[in-house]
Amino acid sequence: MPVIRLLSPRLANQIAAGEVVERPASVAKELLENSLDAGASQLDVEVEGGGIKLLRVRDNGGGIAKDELALALSRHATSKIYELDDLEAVATLGFRGEALASISSVARLTLTSNNGAADHAWSVTAEGRDMEAELAPAAHPRGTCVEVRDLFFNTPARRKFLRTEATEYGRIEDVLKRLALSRFTVGFSLKNNGRLVHAWRPATQQAEQERRVAQICGPAFIDSALHLDMDGPGLRLWGWVALPTFSRSQADLQHFYVNGRAIKDKLVTHAIRQAYQDVLFHGRHPAYVLYLELDAANVDVNVHPTKHEVRFRDGRLVHDFLFRALHKALADVRPEAATAPARNAPSADAVAQPVPQQPALNLYQRPASLTPNVIAEDMSLYQAFTSLPTPTPVARPSYSPSQPSLDQLAAEESQIPPLGFALAQLKGVYILAENAQGLILVDMHAAHERITYERLKQQTEQAGIQSQPLLVPQSLAVSEKESDFAEQHAALFSQLGLLVERAGPETLLIRQVPVLLNKADIPQLVRDLLADLIEHGQTQRIQEAVNTVLGTMACHGSVRASRRLSIPEMNALLRDMEATERAGQCNHGRPTWTLLSLNQLDALFMRGQ
């Protein structure tokens, strides 16, 4: 057996650097987080050679005292935690005290700082085999500057794994953007090879914050985003979520912060995905910039070396709060938002999407939905559904082809409904309507499909999930852990219309299933339910499966393309859209309507040019 020895400080630091220092971007992340923890209000970053040749981070934070500069380059030296109680409620971005020691073991590092207590600043340099710190006086305003040169100069094998300078610079830029989104009160600047690339001023007002979000995420995102700010039991969620019509092909525009820390968390992703399940097209991804605030003692940030993952003390509470908050925010979006002024003036070639604001309707009551002519492919589904009670109709305002024109209503513009009044039908597919802003185009089948679908869901919720016994119970082989969970959550299964009994250590019997899912693969559904319960502590599988069936019924029960509608019928459909949740998208995530403003129409015909 080889002799057991203690690792040398240099080798120990380089092993730690394998976790902390992966590439220049990870160095930038550690240095910037240190600056933010020091209370800086301005951070300036300079990059040369993709951060491999030089990475300089300068801040105006509290600074470091002369006697502590050399200690700052030691392993496990930090000013952020002192006792175990501090570790259980970490409120800073960094806390392990490994970053500077790890960086100095694989690069030439110079740390210059002034805490305002001395006549001048002091600088400490560490490089070479022994990494001995050399202290010298320096000129520097209050704050700290860290220079990292020649990254991996003494570990050439690791340097070979770096990409091109442009790629490495792009990753540094991404790190800075994520941090700029996490701290609106801090100013940031970035120079690349001597050229100023970004300069973001501190943003305290919502309009200024949205300007920064637009600069980082793109103006199209903020123009299609819904701002929310909701409180829960010891929780606060605020930020921006994009409307489903602004979905992405990749999950590349998803920023989530917990107490100012950027994270990627399965529980959070699952909750957000569920909130979008009814309005997102298959294979698309939502876009959002969201901030969750809670007591630091209720979240553990010390579960991953890179601190990208966290663990919540009460994960189910957090999951439910995120789902309810986002579900409500998306459901509350109504077409009347189109009458609100946009954040930015639209371009001449852009088609406006509904801007998510929610002023109350001031003229029309919520009308009864158009009666769907439900034609289900499976008559058993239809028969099961016809037993559900019908909501009490609400009186609908009467409309006729001779209704007042918009000119007559100009003096009382507030009385013009958000989607205006119908003018005509195009090719039996689209409804053309005129509102205070311009021309409304409605896909009548998609719009009526959403209306019918929401009505079916409402009826199902009122009557509950109807179930039926199986003539021959189905046996299901599962693991002992899954069988335990099924036994523990028998009441939940019953609420979902399922009667599942344990028949052995690794065997379940399915005796009762939801009526609407009698043609579904119930054994697979039960396995998925158990997987959700084990992973997330809850499940929406049954509701999702029922909604899929209801969506099919709504599609068949909606007005079809090429069907001619009268003016009163078209107006009734428009009023229903204004009163229906998620009316901006059909059940498949496609938009149901759009607006062409007068300015956009003028631009199309070059009027005023």
Distance CA 333, CA 241 (A): 12
Domains of the chain: 9-200 (3.30.565.10), 206-331 (3.30.230.10), 348-391+415-609 (3.30.1370.100)
Specify the DSSP element, H or E, that contains 456. Answer: helix 444-463
- Which of helix, strand or coil describes residue 203? coil
pLDDT at 127: 73
What one-character-per-residue DSSP string does 121-150 give? EEEEEE-SSS---EEEEE---SEEEEEEES
**Which two structure tokens, joined as six digits, stand for 451?**
């209306």
Distance CA 431, CA 444 (A): 6
pLDDT at 383: 41
Angle at 274 between CA 309 and CA 577, to 5 degrees: 140
pLDDT at 269: 92
In 183-288, which residue ranges form alpha helices assigned H by DSSP?
206-217, 219-223, 266-275
Pairing verdict, β 134-138 and 121-126: antiparallel
Distance CA 425, CA 238 (A): 41
pLDDT at 17: 66
pLDDT at 346: 35
Contact, 597 vs 392, CB < 8 A? no
Number of Cα atoms under 13 Å in the Cβ half of residue 507 = 6
Output helix, strand, coil percentages for the chain, rounded to the nearest 5.
Answer: 35, 20, 40
CA-based Rg of the chain, rounded to a whole angstrom?
Answer: 30
Contact, 131 vs 50, CB < 8 A? no
Distance CA 248, CA 281 (A): 10
Q: What is the dihedral of CA 24, 30, 32, 34, to 10 degrees?
A: -150
Residue 603 backbone dihedrals phi, psi, to 5 degrees: -65, -35
pTM exceeding the 0.85 threshold for the entire prediction: no
- Which of helix, strand or coil describes residue 290? strand
Q: What is the pLDDT of residues 314-371, one digit of tens each?
A: 988 999 999 999 999 988 877 765 445 444 433 333 333 343 333 323 253 333 333 3
Distance CA 208, CA 201 (A): 9
Contact, 587 vs 551, CB < 8 A? yes
- Helices 444-463 and 567-579 sit at what angle, rounded to 10 degrees? 50
CA distances 432 to 190, 231, 570, 571, Å, are 49, 40, 9, 10
Low-confidence ranges of the chain (pLDDT < 70): 13-14, 16-19, 81-82, 84-87, 89, 94-97, 128-131, 304-307, 336-414, 561
Distance CA 571, CA 593 (A): 14
